[in-house]
């Protein structure tokens, strides 16, 4: 009997899950190659070995950029697959077809298809059981191969070199801005992290590189040279300019290698202009590879792209913005552009972080702008306790009477909006998991919960 969706998710949650745990020695430190996932995929008939793949890595903006590339391909009339992580509200979001998450029935079906191959892999002395991410990656490849999609956009989960997605030979590789994140796994410096992410570069496959710190760009260019891979640099070969910005979007002019594109991008933030330029670079490389993607498809795709949880406005008066920034560079970039897109009088911050992030650096930046803070936590098992967050904000000089502690994100959002005047701004920030729960609370989305994984104080 086919598994139900609930049974499929329970089966997946029984696998090793490095997204929801913090092992003493992360998987990327324990493996030397991608043999495990390669053997699993070989048992499935190598569904990843196909044309039309766009492979996207980076620290910031990889999800937004990937969504833009998918939207452009759809606007050009191609069928699309999109694999990304983590999800906001449902596991189904990780595998999309033609812009929409697969159904719960299709998700369960894909889980069933991979399961016997996973069992064979687990008994293979040269391989082993798949992790949750490896299993989901195999499901994504199976879905896109089974449906014979024209273009598959594959977002890297973590790093690049040893990520389970790094078994593809794409039409184009993409590396969005690199900054300090996952340092315990990827390296202590931006250069080391960039070198790991540059591990997705394949021989003679063009790589579109978003704006980078010099140290990161040097590492990426060295990796590209070693693979004889042409580098298309955003900010050099491709440029962009924000002509107008408001809560309704931004008017951009992007000068690509083949054409100039003037459009209104619905996603907010100056950084989305850079992501848009990067997506244009990838789309133009697809055009070089024989795909029929003209300027109308590029403009139309960018103007209709959707990517929730990134500088997203959920309500007005007071303005409620959610953003999944989870490192200090992303927080700084957001704060630098917030006034232009969402002018406000006072800033009330609802903050929830994962324990393995550079929380002190993010708190320092937010404390410089916040008029009031409400510390909270998500349901994610790696979420930091609100009392610890409040203590860090107090250490940055926020008075105790302006710091609240609320255990559940939805309650924290309600409290913050009730305390705000119409001209104020409520900013929910710190992790995508906190953002997801804020969206569920405000938009009435039914949450997909995993009771056994809840932090003890939220069970």
Contact status, residue 229 vs residue 204, Cβ threshold 8 Å: yes
pLDDT of residue 180: 73
Rounded Cα distance, 244 and 186, in Å: 37
Instruction: Give 352-394 pLDDT, tens digit per residue.
Output: 999 888 899 999 999 999 999 999 999 988 899 999 999 999 9
Query: Is the domain 312-458 a CATH 3.40.50.280 member?
Result: no
Distances (CA, A) of 127 to 19, 44, 53, 394: 21, 14, 26, 49
Instruction: Give 207-244 pLDDT, tens digit per residue.
Output: 999 999 999 999 999 999 999 999 999 999 999 999 99
**Residue whose entry in the numeric block shows the structure tokens 């056994």:** 452
pLDDT of residue 25: 44
pLDDT bin (cut points 50, 70, 90) of residue 292 is very high
The residue-averaged pLDDT of 285-308 equals 97
* pLDDT of 269 strictly over 50: yes
% of the chain surpassing 90 pLDDT: 80
The residue-averaged pLDDT of 94-120 equals 97
Residues β-bridged to residue 175 = 57, 209
The residue-averaged pLDDT of 436-448 equals 94
How do strand 425-429 and strand 172-175 relate by DSSP bridges?
A: unpaired
Instruction: Give 156-198 pLDDT, tens digit per residue.
Output: 998 899 999 999 999 999 999 998 764 445 557 899 999 999 9
The residue-averaged pLDDT of 46-68 equals 96
* pLDDT of 326 strictly over 90: no
Helix, strand, or coil (residue 347): strand
| CA dihedral of 179, 180, 183, 188, whole degrees rounded to 10 | 100
The residue-averaged pLDDT of 445-450 equals 86
The residue-averaged pLDDT of 16-32 equals 51
pLDDT bin (cut points 50, 70, 90) of residue 289 is very high
* pLDDT of 339 strictly over 90: no
Contacting residues for 290 by C-beta, under 8 A, at least 6 apart: none
Structure pTM? 0.92
Output the CATH code of domain 5-303: 3.40.1190.10
pLDDT of residue 186: 56
Q: Where are the domains of the chain?
A: 5-303, 312-458
pLDDT bin (cut points 50, 70, 90) of residue 256 is very high
């Amino acid at each position: 009997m086919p598994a139900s969706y609930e049974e499929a998710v329970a089966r997946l949650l029984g696998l090793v899950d490095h997204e929801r745990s913090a092992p003493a020695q992360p998987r990327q430190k324990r493996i030397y190659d991608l043999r495990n996932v390669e053997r699993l995929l070989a048992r499935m008939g190598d569904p990843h070995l196909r044309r039309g793949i766009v492979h996207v890595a980076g620290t910031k903006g990889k999800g937004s950029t990937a969504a833009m590339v998918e939207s452009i391909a759809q606007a050009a009339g191609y069928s699309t697959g999109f694999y990304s992580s983590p999800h906001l509200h449902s596991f189904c979001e990780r595998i999309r077809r033609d812009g929409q998450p697969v159904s719960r029935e299709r998700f369960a079906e894909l889980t069933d298809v991979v399961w016997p191959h996973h069992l064979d892999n687990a008994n293979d002395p040269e391989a082993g059981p798949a992790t949750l991410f490896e299993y989901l990656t195999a499901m994504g490849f199976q879905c896109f191969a089974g449906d014979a999609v024209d273009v598959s956009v594959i977002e890297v989960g973590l790093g690049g070199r040893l990520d389970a997605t790094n078994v593809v030979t794409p039409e184009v590789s993409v590396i969005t801005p690199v900054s300090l994140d996952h340092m315990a796994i990827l390296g202590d410096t931006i250069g080391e992290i960039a070198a790991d992410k540059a591990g997705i570069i394949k021989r003679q496959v063009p790589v579109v590189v978003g704006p980078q710190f010099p140290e990161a760009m040097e590492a990426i260019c060295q990796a590209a040279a070693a693979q004889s891979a042409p580098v298309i640099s955003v900010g050099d070969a491709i440029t962009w300019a924000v002509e107008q910005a408001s809560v309704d979007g931004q008017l951009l002019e992007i000068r690509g290698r083949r054409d100039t594109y003037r459009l209104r991008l619905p996603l907010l933030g100056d950084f989305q202009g850079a992501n848009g330029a990067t997506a244009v670079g990838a789309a133009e490389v697809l055009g070089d590879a024989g795909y029929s993607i003209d300027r109308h498809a590029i403009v139309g795709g960018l103007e209709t792209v959707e990517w929730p949880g990134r500088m997203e406005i959920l309500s007005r008066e007071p303005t409620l913005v959610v953003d999944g920034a989870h490192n200090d560079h992303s927080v700084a970039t957001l704060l630098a552009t917030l006034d232009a897109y969402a002018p406000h009088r006072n800033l009330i911050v609802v903050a929830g972080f994962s324990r393995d992030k550079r929380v002190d650096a993010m708190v320092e930046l937010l404390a410089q702008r916040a008029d009031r803070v409400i510390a909270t936590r998500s349901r994610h098992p790696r979420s930091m306790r609100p009392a610890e967050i409040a203590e860090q904000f107090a250490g940055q000089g926020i008075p105790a009477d302006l710091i609240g502690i609320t255990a559940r994100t939805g309650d924290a959002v309600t409290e913050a909006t009730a305390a705000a005047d119409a001209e104020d701004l409520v900013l929910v920030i710190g992790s995508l998991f906190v953002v997801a729960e804020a969206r569920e609370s405000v938009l009435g989305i039914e949450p997909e919960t995993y009771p056994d994984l809840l932090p003890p104080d939220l069970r």
